[in-house]
Chain A
Amino acid sequence: MIRFDGVHKRYPNGREALCGVSFAVDSGEMCFLTGHSGAGKSSILKLIALIERPSRGQVFVNNQNVSGIKRRGISQFRRGIGVVFQDHKLLHDRPVSDNVALPLIVAGVGRSEIDKRVRAALDQVGLLGKEKNRPLELSTGEQQRVGIARAVVAKPALLIADEPTGNLDPDLALETMRLFKRFNDVGVTVVIASHDVHLIDEVGARRIVIDAGRVAAT
């Protein structure tokens, strides 16, 4: 599903975020990228979602070398990936249903199908009945679940999350991780960047430890 071959990433400011990173994640697998802040976890996720491009080395997603994807192909590529962020990245001037529907609208799905799938996604994250609420009317945990519903509504084969529990209390964090596990149980490949070792132990999935831009353990 995902393969990194000797990937380097140097940002324009000269910071070397990744130095020869190599690892692989199989289709249908759930794994955690762990490590201290600044270790390079987020950079790996950005390379997977084509938010950044590697300076050297190759990144394969679904057997496709992402370096070869041209600018106009990026939008189509991203439609196959669900992304969850620590800060949710929700549109606060739109109701929950519109936020969740966004990937489907972008993909040109019909209105009735959008309504059906948005309800199904909100049901999966336990937010059915909150469609009309604005994100700021919801708790932080609920906002995170809206973000997860948006990430899974288009039924992506790959779900990536960057510190999705960073702003949540321990109970909510565990609940959110179990949500990811449920998506993984139905075949979705899940890659989560997190530095919360205890939480990772609770969920029990493979860890790829990143340290100073290198894979320390896999």
Chain B
Amino acid sequence: MSLNAYFARHAQTLIGSLGRILQEPLAALMTMAVIAVALALPLFLNLFLQNARAATGNWNEAFDISVYIDKQASESRLQAIAKQLRARDDVATVRTISAEQALAEFREYSGFGKALDALTDNPLPNALIVTPSIVASTPEGTDALKAAIAGITDVQAVQLDSEWVKRLHAMLVILRRVVLLTGGLLGLGVVLIVGNTIRLDILNRRAEIEVMKLVGASDGFARRPFLYSGIWYGVGGGLMALILVAVAAAVLAAPVERLALLYGSEFRLQGLQWAPAVVVVAAAAALGWLGSWLAATRHIRAIEPS
């Protein structure tokens, strides 16, 4: 068989299997809907995770590092350290606070103004407020930045409330695992759903398979249309899952925006992007193929002419 004939035969089988599915549209829709529901849950969880990471990404930037400079170091040294830090990739911004500025702010906001008048010297050091860039937004990144700053000459202390960052990331790691586990289990569910649908289809077409084998069809040849059916079920289910998630995201967009505004954020719920959507449909097609392959391989092998 020529390559052209080979591909033409596959194309015929692909379209033929779609035609056969569409002969019973209600049954096909039901199967695809079950697949869609199974896929929509991990998809929605993943979307939630992505949005949570996007939202908390902004919070990460709010975790500033306070750097206290040795009291013996001059004002020019303070500026030199600030310049050195601004040159780093893992630093977004650096704000300098002189000892005088710090004392003035403390006097204004602490309520100890008169007590401070009794001091002969300013006890506060020069300081820098360093905001890590997105590169250092992970716990490991902020720890590495903190260590690097602590190693600079004349830096007396570095303070970072990284516990919040760590807790936040720990929660996101758990959520990511939940998404993976749910996705794995429900992916297995899709394989079983398609497998069972194909099994019933094979049983309904037993006589046809017998005839095909009688005239010389191999197991692989008899299996081919069922594999394409499995792919169609997967593609249909994947597309329906995308629609479900898009509808859910649209329903939640306005309340999430209102909630974000209450926290003074301009955060907006992100929907599914094109590339992940294509991956979802392709993965659903692959699961459909796998389910049909498992069912067809087993059941077609068992059918022999009598």
List A residues at the B interface (Cβ < 8 Å). Answer: 49, 51, 72, 75-79, 83, 89-91, 102-103, 105-108, 110-111, 150, 154
On chain A, the residues within 8 Å of B218 by CB distance are 72, 75
How far, in whole Å, are A102 and B305 apart by their CA atoms in the complex?
Answer: 16
Please determine whether A110 and B5 come into contact, CB atoms closer than 8 angstroms. yes
Please determine whether A108 and B217 come into contact, CB atoms closer than 8 angstroms. no
How far, in whole Å, are A91 and B207 apart by their CA atoms in the complex?
Answer: 8
Select which of A79, A89, A110, A111 is within 8 A of B211 by beta carbon.
A89
Q: Which of chain A's residues has its CB closest to B23's CB?
A: A93
Tell me, yes or no, whether B164 is within 8 Å of chain A by CB: no
Please determine whether A75 and B213 come into contact, CB atoms closer than 8 angstroms. yes
How far, in whole Å, are A51 and B1 apart by their CA atoms in the complex?
Answer: 26
Please determine whether B216 and A108 come into contact, CB atoms closer than 8 angstroms. no
Chain B min CB distance to A155 (Å): 13
Indicate whether A103 sits within 8 Å of B2 (C-beta atoms), given known contacts A51-B306, A89-B210, A91-B211: no
Please determine whether A75 and B5 come into contact, CB atoms closer than 8 angstroms. no
Please determine whether B210 and A106 come into contact, CB atoms closer than 8 angstroms. no
Select which of A72, A83, A110, A154 is within 8 A of B214 by beta carbon.
A83
Please determine whether A102 and B210 come into contact, CB atoms closer than 8 angstroms. no
In the complex, 23 of the A-B residue pairs with CB atoms within 8 angstroms, ordered by the A residue number, are: A49-B305, A51-B305, A75-B213, A75-B216, A75-B217, A76-B216, A78-B213, A78-B214, A79-B215, A79-B216, A91-B207, A91-B211, A102-B212, A103-B215, A105-B9, A106-B221, A108-B1, A108-B5, A108-B6, A110-B1, A110-B5, A154-B215, A154-B216
Interface residues of B in 190-216 (CB under 8 A from A): 207-208, 210-216
Tell me, yes or no, whether B304 is within 8 Å of chain A by CB: yes
How far, in whole Å, are A111 and B12 apart by their CA atoms in the complex?
Answer: 11
Select which of A75, A89, A154 is within 8 A of B221 by beta carbon.
A75
Q: Interface digits, B108-123 against A, CB 8 Å rule (1 contact, 0 not)? A: 0000000000000000
Q: Which of chain B's residues has its CB closest to A113's CB?
A: B5
Please determine whether B215 and A150 come into contact, CB atoms closer than 8 angstroms. yes
Chain B min CB distance to A50 (Å): 9
Tell me, yes or no, whether B62 is within 8 Å of chain A by CB: no
How far, in whole Å, are A55 and B221 apart by their CA atoms in the complex?
Answer: 29
Tell me, yes or no, whether B178 is within 8 Å of chain A by CB: no
